[in-house]
Amino acid sequence: MVALIEVTGLTKQFGSFIAVDKVSFRLNKGEVLGFLGPNGAGKTTTMRMLAGFVTPTAGSAAIAGHDVAAEPVAARRALGFLPEGAPTYPEMTVVGFLRFTARIRGYRGAALTSRVAAALALTELEGVRLQPVETLSKGFKRRVGLAQALLHDPPCLVLDEPTDGLDPNQKHEVRTLIRRLAPEKAIIISTHILEEVDAVCTRAIIIAAGRVVADATPAVLAARDPSGRLEEVFRAITRPAPLAKAA
Amino acid sequence: MRNILVIARRELGGYFATPVAAVFIVIFLVLQGMLTFNAGDFFGRGQADLVPFFDFLPWVFLLLVPAIAMRLWAEERRLGTIELLLTLPLTETEAVIGKFLAAWAFCIIALALTFPFVVTVNILGSPDNGVIAAGYLGGVLVAGAFLAVGSATSAMTKNQVVAFVLGVAICFVFAVSGYPVVTDFLNRNLPVLSLIARGFSVIERFHAISQGLFSLSDLVFFVSFIGFWLFVNVVAVDHRKAS
């Protein structure tokens, strides 16, 4: 089976600081990967490299068989990407913004209208479709970013903290959406919310100081600690070394 | 090509969705009008032409065009939308050209709104409208040249003020490089550079065009100048996008 997302020895160095250190993994259709790690562990940089925004120092990444460095445009066509903080153009209306991204993705006429309508429906944004993005709450803004990532029904999704800033109901809806999309796609989500991993992920990777320190199903990971709680495992693995010794 | 137009359309819409468009157009028209009528003695000269208008145009552009260009990339970086834009399926070159064309179209709209000057001289006398058309064409080319510089400096920084000041400074160098004070100095010290400096003078070329002396070499100069700075722009975007 050809992996939809394939990352091999991906490394990013900023000066002497190694942000991402030889990260490798493969993701097949139907898998939802939870990307976990403390702040500054290299999650966002890895995702940016996958989306072709940051150029890797070494290693390679491929989306649906297209190398992100050699065939960047083809790779990005197969990818829906929600950048950290879900940036959008503040002065544009929700529908104007989605129509813009749909045009860049090659849709015209009726196909464009139906794609935008479908994305609005998926993320429940119909009620604010004509509002400028700058007038929306944080949760709505994130959903606009999500709508943009889902608009072209891509085989691969990379979502950087998709539920950050959402209220519990909205979080639940986004998780339900991810679960619903999961069978047909390869999805990576980064999150700080460990319950989210239990709720939607079929696999979890924990990254600390740029390195992959754990890669397993959430259940197997949780079983590493006698308490059976993912949070304890996360803390034990990612805590700075002296503290870990003291414990 | 399609992507370039999609980007240009969004960017041009962005100017009009914010006060930028209104403020720029009003200030441009007021400044250009005041300089032409007062400093240029438009009526007192008693001649049906737009010479005073075109004399001041590049200097007004020197100040205002970098102000239009400064937001092009610096704003994307500040808002973080550059990450969204550059992870859509388009090349950086398409994004750079699209944004440049939008800003250029905006300058052309502002320039087109100076049409009352043309109407006035045509009512008051019989000007050579061919020369006036050449002047406008020259104005469009100067705006393009300054925009390309401003767009490139905008890609180098997150700070719009820095982008603006840097843009004006670089444009100023290319504006005055043909002036006697520069060429005389170079003639005395580095005669080789004197000829080169004159060749790179945007304003000297503009003056020739605005007198109706439009040559192929001027067109080649402006196209190459814009092309060069857009290339710098692409390099700057690629190099600094994630920093």
Residues β-bridged to residue A205: A35, A215
Range of the domain at B67: 2-240
Strand order in the sheet with A66-67: A17-27, A5-14, A58-63, A66-67
* Chain B residue at shortest CA distance from A145: B84
Residues of chain A positioned with their CB less than 8 A from the CB of B86:
52-53
The pLDDT tens digits of the residues spanning B112-144 come to 999 999 999 999 888 999 999 999 999 999 999
**Nearest chain B CA: its distance from A85 CA (Å):** 8
In this complex, the residue of B6, B10, B84 whose CB is nearest that of residue A83 is B84
| Tokens found for residue A97 | 């913004």
Return the pLDDT at A170: 86
Report the predicted TM-score, pTM, of the whole model to 2 decimal places: 0.91
d(C-alpha B202, C-alpha B171), whole Å: 9
Q: Are A155 and A185 in contact (CB under 8 A)?
A: yes
φ/ψ of B193, rounded to 5, equals -75, -20
Please state the domain count of chain B. 1
- Give the confidence band of A230 by pLDDT, cuts at 50, 70, 90: confident
B182 against A214, higher pLDDT = A214
| Tokens found for residue B137 | 């064409």
To which residue do tokens 């205002």 refer?
B64
In this complex, the residue of A54, A72, A87 whose CB is nearest that of residue B81 is A87
A134 and B CB contact within 8 Å: no
The pLDDT tens digits of the residues spanning B162-195 come to 999 999 999 999 998 877 777 778 778 877 777 7
Residues of chain A with CATH 3.40.50.300: 1-78+157-247
In chain B, DSSP assigns E strands to none
Of the candidates A95, A13, A23, which has an alpha carbon nearest to the alpha carbon of residue A57? A13
| Tokens found for residue A77 | 């066509």
- Give the confidence band of B63 by pLDDT, cuts at 50, 70, 90: very high
Q: Report whether pLDDT(A50) > 60.
A: yes
Residues of chain A positioned with their CB less than 8 A from the CB of B3:
104
Would you state the CATH architecture of domain A1-78+157-247? 3-Layer(aba) Sandwich (3.40)
User: Is A73 within 8 Å of B7 when comparing Cβ atoms?
Assistant: no
d(C-alpha B229, C-alpha B222), whole Å: 11
Rounded alpha-carbon distances, angstroms, from residue A100 to A89, B16, B83: 11, 16, 15
Of the candidates A169, A170, A95, which has an alpha carbon nearest to the alpha carbon of residue A132? A95
**Nearest chain B CA: its distance from A171 CA (Å):** 22
Return the pLDDT at A247: 42
Dihedral over alpha carbons B97, B98, B99, B105 (to 10 degrees): 100
**Nearest chain B CA: its distance from A54 CA (Å):** 6
Mean pLDDT of the region A94-122: 95
Q: Report whether pLDDT(A243) > 80.
A: no
d(C-alpha B94, C-alpha B92), whole Å: 5
The pLDDT tens digits of the residues spanning A70-103 come to 999 999 999 999 999 899 999 999 999 999 999 9
| Tokens found for residue A12 | 């990013």
Mean pLDDT of the region B65-93: 93
